[in-house]
Structure 1
Amino acid sequence: MEHLPPFESTVAAHGATVLRVCRAVVGHDDADDAWSETFLAALKAYPSLAAGSNIEAWLVTIAHRKSLDILRARARRPIPVAEMADAPSPDERSDAFHDLWPLVARLPLKQRQAVAYHYIVGLPHPQTAEIVGATPAAVRRAASDGIAALRRARSDARTESGPQPPREKGRS
């Protein structure tokens, strides 16, 4: 009957490989944390690992999953900044929205609903899909198309009201 090697020798044999996997997924700064989390999880599960298992592949799988956990946690953390920007005053916000309402009103119904529910109300796409009777993918696409149309309309409005750039004269 085959026995697993002591866990200490497993760490020594595969530690460098696990660290490379962690660095590849989370980068240098968080790799040590991912490495530690990997071997803590592996230590807990090691006694139940079947003898003859591919230990390196098992550890790489754990390292990949722990690294992804760290990436997810990082995405939820606020990003530190040197100085906070001043929030726009309620008057400034209402002026910006005031300019957008006529443009939103001109969108096709599905785009208007998707933009309003997702971006203005803040509902996630699946919930918006339930409300409008569509799939989340269709709502996501309608919202994307609606935002693109709003950007084009806003850009066109600025171009019409602002100074026109000089036109190049054609070559003969």
Structure 2
Amino acid sequence: MRPFEDVVAEHGPTVLRVCRAVIGPVDAEDAWSETFLSALRAYPDLPADANVEAWLVTIAHRRALDVGRANARRPAPVDAVPERPAVRGDPADGHPELWAALEALPTKQRQAVAYHHIAGLPFAEIAGLLGNSPDAARRACADGLKKLRSLYREESLP
């Protein structure tokens, strides 16, 4: 079995992109860390022929939802109420408009797009993650891409 450090180095960027797509760039690093902590505990028992990337994306999906739920329950004190809502985007990636458009998608569409186009998972595996059929996962992905294209074009135009 490969050293776990090699698994993190190889699949870490994909897991981070999936976490960002599922819960946004602000909480993605927490979900990424939780994913690899959980994976480290289970890695010794992983079958040798397992699809490691799909396994990690499944864990990332669950951990991202957990982190999102935990953060949603936690109050966020502020000194003053902002005049306008803050824009959630990761300035480090250079595409805050794309992340904002992705966040605007309905949950299942956003997740289907992320799992298929970022993590490269087939629709049969996405269906298992989303709790629907492969056809429904394919439809959610297609609808999500269509809406993402229209949102991103609208927001990125001057």
TM-score normalised according to structure 2 size: 0.49
Greater relative contact order (CA < 8 Å, ≥ 6 in sequence): 2
Larger Cα-atom Rg: 1
TM-score normalised according to structure 1 size: 0.45
